[in-house]
Amino acid sequence: MKPSVITNVVEHDLCIGCGLCAALCPAGTLAMQWNRYGEYSPIEVSPCTTECGLCLKTCPFADHEENEDTIGRELYGGVPGIQHRSETGYYLATYVGYSERHRPTSASGGMATWLLETLLTQGVVEHVVCVAPTGGPDKLFAFCVFDTAEDVRTGAGSAYYPVEMSGVIRHILDVPGRYAITGLPCFLKAIRLAQQRNKKLRERIVVTVGLTCGQLKSRHFTDYIAALAGVQGEVTAVRYRGKSPDQPASNFYFSFTSTDGEERRIFWNEGIAEAWTNRWFTPNACNYCDDVFAECADVTCMDAWLPEFSKDSRGTSLVLVRSPLIQEVIKRGEGICLDPIAVEEVVQSQAGVVAIKRRHLAYQLDLDRMKEKKVPEKRVKPERAKNPFLRQEVVVKERMRVASRDLWINGEQDRAHLRDVMQPDLRWLATGRQISKIIAFPVGILRYIQRKVQSN
Ligand SMILES: Cc1cc2nc3c(=O)[nH]c(=O)nc-3n(C[C@H](O)[C@H](O)[C@H](O)COP(=O)(O)OP(=O)(O)OC[C@H]3O[C@@H](n4cnc5c(N)ncnc54)[C@H](O)[C@@H]3O)c2cc1C
């Protein structure tokens, strides 16, 4: 069989569902569909008649020569004043702050929406491609093309829900103009790979706004949390980043609107955190991501998960700039409160995600190598973790991830049963964490004494 994204990626459960392959297939062979895990993936709607291999060449999880380092170097390596760190990729400047106007409806400090709106009103772009609610239960969010600031604001907030780009990429190919697009790291990598091969996309997508990403979630994640919140009917709308004045930014809430007419809320610490941090309903492809800061984006926005900002319920953004164009827009910025911040603090704000996409990934790749499993070539190299707790954590979280995906589709859409099945692993993790803390304390003291002795 001819190698394609179906044989090399989808059949190995490595598809993230970005939709670039379906948009670019010259024979129109591929279409994006929900799979049984509540994720998007392409299906073949007609036999593949070309030898082009474009689907593989633009897939962020297929093997090719380009990676985030080579793409980043090509785009930003020659920018005057640019710097590089292994965790962030290239960066020109880093900021912390917010847009007072956008903050209330945005995920964190509203910097992403402010930027998209400003690019539009200043005429840098004519169209903004971002994610917005659809109002329909079968697809709660979708990528949309907007031409007014008012419409762009309807997309404010984070969509922890699958979205795919095949429709908007076809639109960009059909309708000339200058576009800005938002995306998660792997989605923007796909766009960059496509731009290398498609002149129209290269000329028309003039700004990419990345979001730092820990993991994607399937639509079953939303179904599970809705059930946890007590939603009875079908969910018709979700807001994932509700802000409560009496809570820190980190304890945000999801609010659900459903056909039963009731609006229900659930806070991060009431069950969302458990499902999120233990990687329930996470696609397998996310296990093979080594890009935290959307290294192929002109600018990346994220939450300021730092003690001095995360207490403020209104939310604060960190912004990492790579393109001089964005740097100019920000310098001229009106209506924003933005201060420079050290890149070390930006990295620190995402320490947990960096650990997963470096140390956990290295150990996952080591396990896969032993099982001779097909996985994509990564910048992180396979390595057996020295820390036994980390080794167990990777194994246990993967077991829970697989179990959550399987349980939900096997007719057991029962939140209580799912939590029961997870209990032994959750207990194991909690005990392991306690033991690590107990061991870490004397080890820390010993290291401190050692350093003191050496310095004297
Ligand atoms: C799946 C996912 C995982 C994330 N993980 C992390 C993390 O680990 N750490 C962290 O600091 N931040 C993470 N973020 C980013 C964070 O949630 C905020 O989006 C970010 O802080 C920007 O906030 P803001 O107030 O500046 O953006 P807003 O003003 O709220 O604007 C966000 C923009 O992004 C667009 N958007 C929303 N969801 C998506 C999506 N799924 N795909 C493409 N575009 C989208 C919206 O349409 C809007 O234009 C994640 C986001 C997502 C969607």
Dist. CA 403–CA 278, nearest whole Å? 11
Give the distance (Å) from ligand 1 centre to CA of residue 388.
33
Residue 359 lies in a domain: no
In a domain, 169, yes or no: yes
Q: Do 410 and 436 fall within a single domain?
A: yes
Query: Which domain does 441 fall in, by range?
Result: 383-455
Rounded to 5 degrees, φ, ψ at 212 are: -60, 145
Can you give the pLDDT at residue 270? 97
Probe target for ligand 1 pocket from 148, 161, 211, with the most ligand atoms within 8 Å of CB: 211
Cβ of residue 354 lying under 6 Å from some atom of ligand 1: no
- Cβ-based burial of 79 (10 A; exposed 0-12, middle 13-18, buried ≥19): middle
Q: How far apart are CA 425 and CA 400, in angstroms?
A: 7
Structure tokens at 329: 């827009």
Residue 412 burial (CB count, 10 A)? 12
Burial 162-172 (b: 16+ CB within 10 A, else e): bbbbbbbbebb
Q: What is the mean pLDDT of each run of 10 residues along the chain (456 residues)?
A: 91 98 96 97 93 95 95 98 98 98 97 98 97 94 98 98 98 98 98 98 98 97 95 94 97 95 94 97 98 98 97 97 97 93 98 97 97 94 95 97 90 80 94 84 80 79
Residue 136 three-state SS: strand
Quote the pLDDT of residue 260. Answer: 85
The finding on whether 185 has its CB within 6 A of some atom of ligand 1 is: no
Provide the number of structural domains found in the chain: 3
Q: Within this chain, do residues 212 and 227 fall inside the same structural domain, yes or no? A: no
- Position 411 scores a pLDDT of 58
Same domain, 255 and 394: no
212 within 8 A of 293, measured Cβ to Cβ: yes
Same structural domain, 193 and 263 = no
Spell out the residues 6+ positions from residue 367 whose beta carbon is closer than 8 angstroms to its own.
394, 395
What's the CA gap between 143 and 152, in Å, rounded? 11
56/82 same-domain check: yes
Residue 176, token pair as written in the block: 């000339």
| 347 in contact with ligand 1, CB cutoff 6 A | no
Q: What is the pLDDT of residue 105?
A: 97
3-class SS of residue 259:
coil
**Same domain for 152 and 229:** no
